[in-house]
Structure 1
Amino acid sequence: MTHASSQVPERAASRRSDEPSLLRLAGFPYFLIAFIARLPFAMMVVGVLTVVVAARGSLSLGGLTSAAVGLGTACFGPLLGAAADRFGQRGVLSALALANGAMLVIFTVVVYGPGADGFVLLAAAGIGATAPQVAPLSRSRLVTIIRERMPEAARTRTLSGTMAYESAADETVFVFGPFIVGILASALAPWAPLVGAAVLTVVFVGAFALHPSGRHVSQERDADGKAPSAVADLFRPQLLIVVLGILGVGMFFGAMLTGLTSFMADRGAPEQAGLLYGVMGVGSAILALGVAWLPPAFTLRARWLVFSGILLAGTVLLVFVDSPATMMVALAIMGIGIGPTLVTQYSFGAARSPLGRSATVMTMLGSGVVVGQSIGAAVTGEIAEQIGTAPALLLPILAATVTFGAGLANWVLSSTGPRSSRTAP
C-alpha cells in the first residue's frame, strides 16, 4: 500500500511535466517577434507629433495630427480585428504591414511637402487606419492557444500570467517607443523615427503575420468562418464598461506624458520628462507581471477597484508636486496602480469575449488605449500651451477618475449582469 501510494505523486508530477506550456506551444521566437513588432505602434503617435512640429512649426497641428492617428485607429481597428477573426490573422496582418509601412512614408513626404494641413491630417488618419495592432492580436492568438490546446486545469492561471506578460510588454514598449523616437530624431532627423517605424513594420509585423500561429482560425468558427455569437454581443454593458475603463487608461497615458513634459519644460529640462516617466513605466511593468501571483480570492473586479484607486490617489498628488523629486514620488505611486489595472481590464476582455470574436474584442480594447492616449495628449497639450502646466496636470486626475468610475460600474455589472459565455472572472 505504501509503495503504491508513493507512486501517485510521482505519476501526478510526471503528468504535470508532460503538460504543454504556452512557451512550448507558441515557441520562444514568437514572443521575441511579437515584442519587437509592437514598437512601431508605440512610436507612431510621438513620431507624428515630433515630425509635424519640426516640419510645420505648429504644436497645435501636431496635437491634432496625433489625434487623427487615434481617430483612424478607432474607426478601423475593431473592423480589422473582426476581419482577423473571420479570415485568420495571417492575410490581414500581411496586408496591413505593407499598407502601414507605405502610409508612414507617404505621411513623411506630405508633411515636408507644400500640401495644406488638411492633407497632413488625412495622411495621419491613414496611418491609424492601417495600424497593425500587434498587441491585441497577440493576446487573441495566445488566448486561443490556451483555450484550445492546454489542459483545462492549467488554463486559468496561464491566462492570468499571459495577460500579465502582455501588459508588461506593452508598458515596456510604450516607455521605450518615445525614447527611441527621441534618439532617432536627435541623432538623425525628425523624419527618421517614422521611416524607422516603417521598416520595423514591414519586417517584424510581416514576420509576426507569417509565424505558424498566424494560420490558426478559432475552432469556434464554423466551416464558413461565421461566429456562433451575434455582433450585438459586442455591445453588452459588461463589455462596453471594460472599453470605457481602458479608454480612461489611455487618456491617462497621453495626459500624464504631455503634462509631465510641460512640467519639466517649466524647469528648463523638457528632455528629462522621458526619464521621469520611466519611473512610472518600469514600476508599472514589474507590478503588472506580479498580478499572475495574486490569490484567486482577490477577484478581478476587486483588483480593478483597488489598483485604479491607487492610481487615482497618485494623480491627486499632482496638485501638490513642486519639484522633480515630489513628481517622482507621485509617478511611483501611479506605477503601482496603472499596470495591474491594465492587466485586469484585459483579463475581463478575454473572459467576456463573445464566442469566436476574441480578436475583435482585443482590438476594441487596444483601440481604446490609443484613442484615449491621443485625446489625452491633444487636450493636455492645448491646455498647457494656452493656460499653463498646473491646469494641464488636472487632466491625469480626470482620466484616473474615469477609470475608477468604470471600475465601480463594473463591480455592479459583475454581480448583477448575465454570466459570460466564457470562464467568468
Structure 2
Amino acid sequence: MTARRTVDSVEETTTSPGATSTHDTAAPARAGYGTLLRTPGAWTFLAPAFIARLPYAMLSMGILLLVKETHGSYGTASTVAAVAAVAQALIGPQTGRLADRYGQAAVLVPTVVVHAASVGTLIALALGHAPAWSLFLAAAPAGASIPQIGAMVRARWVATFAAEGASASSAAKVSTAFAFESVTDEFTFVIGPILAAAIATSVSPSTGLVVEAALTFVGGLAFAAQRRTAPARVAPVAGARRVSALSSPGVRLLAGTFLGVGAVFGGMQVSVNAFADSVGQHGAAGTVYGIFAGGSMLAGVLYGVIAWRRAVQHRMIMSYGLLVLGCSTLWAMPNLVALSVAGLVCGLAIAPTLISGYTLVETLVEDGAKTEAFTWLTGAIGLGLATGSMAAGRLIDGHGASAGFVVPVAGAGLGLLALVSLRHLLVAPGAARRGGGVSTVVAGSDVGAGVSAGASAGVSAGVSSSERAGAPQLVGAAKG
C-alpha cells in the first residue's frame, strides 16, 4: 500500500490492489490559546519561566548602560555586551545537551548560581573603573550561565503533547505553543529593556543588573523545582555515538539565518540608545525598542490563531523578506516618532520568522537532541546580537547614531540570501518516505513542530516509539 499524506490540509490518498482511490480534504487543525493554557500543569512551569526569562532581555541593555556610564564609550560598552552574548551562544547549546541527558533541574540549579556570582563580579569591576579587558573576562561567564529557559519550556510543551499521541490535534497544539512562546519572548523584550532603562535612569545602572541577576536566580530555581512537568531525560545508549544537532545541514542553515535576526536585535538596541542620546531624549530609548518588540509580539499573537495552509518553509522565507524590507528604512528616520513607526513595521516580521524557524528545526533532529537544537537557534540569536551590537557601536562611534542602523539591514539581508539559496536543506531527512511505504509530505502548517498526523503509519516527526506509547522523552530558545 502507498499513501501520500499532506499534514495541515490533511489530504490523504490511499491506493491498494483491488481497491478504488479515495480523496478526502479537511480543514487545517487549529488550537486556540485558551485550549493551550488549560493544559493540566501548564501554569506551574509558565509562571516561574516568565520570571526567569525576563532578565534575558535586561542583561544586554543593563551591561550597555552600566559600562557606558562608567567607561564613557559605546564601543567599549557594546563590546562587553557582545562578549556576554558570544559566551551565551557558544555555551548555551552545551547546557541544552546536558539538559537532554541529565534533566533540566540538574543543569538549572548550578547555572543560576554561577550567573548571579558572575553578574555581581561584573558590576563590581565596572563600578571600580577596572580596565576593559577585566570586564570582558567577567562578562564571559555571565553570558555563558544564562539559563536556557525558553528551550526548556518548549521541551515541556512538546513532550506534553507527544504523550497525547500522534494526531493533527496534538500537532496543532504544538504549533500554538510555539506561537505562544514567541509572544512570551517578545513580551519580555518589550518589558525587559524598558525595565532595565527605567531602573538605570531612576536608581542607578548597576541596580538594573542587580535586579536582572536576582530575577534569574529566583525564577530559575522556581522553574527547576517543577519536576512533574519536566520531560524525561534521555539516557545514552551503550556503544552509541552521540551526534550533535548541529550535524544537520538544515539546523546549520537555520542557525545562520537566526544570526541575521540576532544582528537586527543587537543593532537596534545600540542604535536606538545612541539615536535617543543624540536628540537629547535618552529615557525614550527603552520605549522605542519596546515598540519594535511590541510589533513582533502582535504578529506572534496573530500567527498563532491562524490555521495556515501554506508550507512553513514558504512562510519563513516570506516573513524574512519582510524583515529585510522593514529594516531597510531605519537608517533614514529623522526623529524618534518616525523611528518608532519604522521599528514597529520591522518588528512585525520578527515573530513569524522565529516561530517558523523553531517549527522547522524540531523536524530536523532526532529525539535526545531537541533541546540542544533549540538552544543552537537561541545561541545563534545571541551571537548575532553580539556581532550586531559590536558592529553598530563601532559605526556609531565613528559615523554618528544613524550609521548603526545599517547593521540590522545588512545582517537580515545576508540571512535572507542564505535562506533562499539553501532552502532545500529545510526538508527533514527521510521525510519523503518513512516506514511501511508511507510517503509523508509536510506541506502545510506546523505539523512538523512535534507530532505529525501519521499515526496509522506509526510515524511522527520528532516523536520516538516510546513517546507514541505514552512515555515522553526530552524534546525541546530569547530567544532571549
Q: Scaled by the length of structure 1, what TM-score is found? A: 0.87
Q: Aligned runs of 1:11-410 on 2, under 5 Å? A: 23-113=38-128, 115-149=130-164, 152-213=167-228, 215-218=230-233, 221-222=234-235, 224=236, 230-410=242-422
Cα offsets for 1:94-131 (capped at 9, x unmatched)? 11111111111122122223643322111100101111
Distance between the aligned counterparts of 2:238 and 2:356, measured in 1?
29
Unaligned runs of 5+ in 1: 1-15
Cα offsets for 1:277-335 (capped at 9, x unmatched)? 22222121021122223334211111111111111111222354333343233223212
- Aligned residue type for 1:342: L
Distance between the aligned counterparts of 1:348 and 1:228, measured in 2?
26
Distance between the aligned counterparts of 1:385 and 1:114, measured in 2?
20
What is the number of equivalent residue pairs in this alignment?
404
Stretch of structure 1 that moved more, 101-110 or 163-172: 101-110
Tell me if the contact between 1:86 and 1:226 (Cα under 8 Å) persists in the aligned partners.
Answer: no
Stretch of structure 1 that moved more, 329-338 or 155-164: 329-338
Query: What's 1:11 paired with?
Result: none
Aligned to 1:374, what secondary structure does the other structure show? Answer: helix
Query: What's 1:10 paired with?
Result: none
Distance between the aligned counterparts of 1:183 and 1:54, measured in 2?
15
Q: CA deviation at 1:22?
A: 6.2
Q: CA deviation at 1:142?
A: 1.7
Q: CA deviation at 1:230?
A: 4.1
Q: CA deviation at 1:234?
A: 2.7
- Aligned residue type for 1:44: L
Aligned to 1:217, what secondary structure does the other structure show? Answer: coil
Tell me if the contact between 1:261 and 1:270 (Cα under 8 Å) persists in the aligned partners.
Answer: yes
Return closer, same or farther for 1:361/1:323 CA change in 2, 3 Å cut-off.
same
Structure with greater helix percent: 1
Q: CA deviation at 1:41?
A: 1.7
Tell me if the contact between 2:120 and 2:210 (Cα under 8 Å) persists in the aligned partners.
Answer: yes
- Aligned residue type for 1:141: R
Of 391, 412, 425, which residue of structure 1 is paired with 2:424? 412
Q: Scaled by the length of structure 2, what TM-score is found? A: 0.78
Cα offsets for 1:33-88 (capped at 9, x unmatched)? 11111012221111112222222333322111101101211221111111000100
Tell me if the contact between 2:326 and 2:346 (Cα under 8 Å) persists in the aligned partners.
Answer: yes
Tell me if the contact between 1:49 and 1:62 (Cα under 8 Å) persists in the aligned partners.
Answer: yes
Distance between the aligned counterparts of 1:312 and 1:336, measured in 2?
11
- Aligned residue type for 1:113: G
Tell me if the contact between 2:259 and 2:380 (Cα under 8 Å) persists in the aligned partners.
Answer: yes
Distance between the aligned counterparts of 1:349 and 1:416, measured in 2?
9
- Aligned residue type for 1:256: M
Distance between the aligned counterparts of 1:410 and 1:77, measured in 2?
25
Q: CA deviation at 1:255?
A: 0.7
Distance between the aligned counterparts of 1:181 and 1:109, measured in 2?
18
Return closer, same or farther for 1:328/1:84 CA change in 2, 3 Å cut-off.
same
Return closer, same or farther for 1:275/1:215 CA change in 2, 3 Å cut-off.
closer
Q: CA deviation at 1:340?
A: 0.8
Distance between the aligned counterparts of 2:126 and 2:140, measured in 1?
13
- Aligned residue type for 1:358: K
Distance between the aligned counterparts of 1:393 and 1:232, measured in 2?
35
Q: CA deviation at 1:243?
A: 0.6
Q: CA deviation at 1:204?
A: 0.9
Tell me if the contact between 1:380 and 1:392 (Cα under 8 Å) persists in the aligned partners.
Answer: yes
Distance between the aligned counterparts of 1:226 and 1:92, measured in 2?
22
Distance between the aligned counterparts of 1:227 and 1:173, measured in 2?
43
- Aligned residue type for 2:50: F
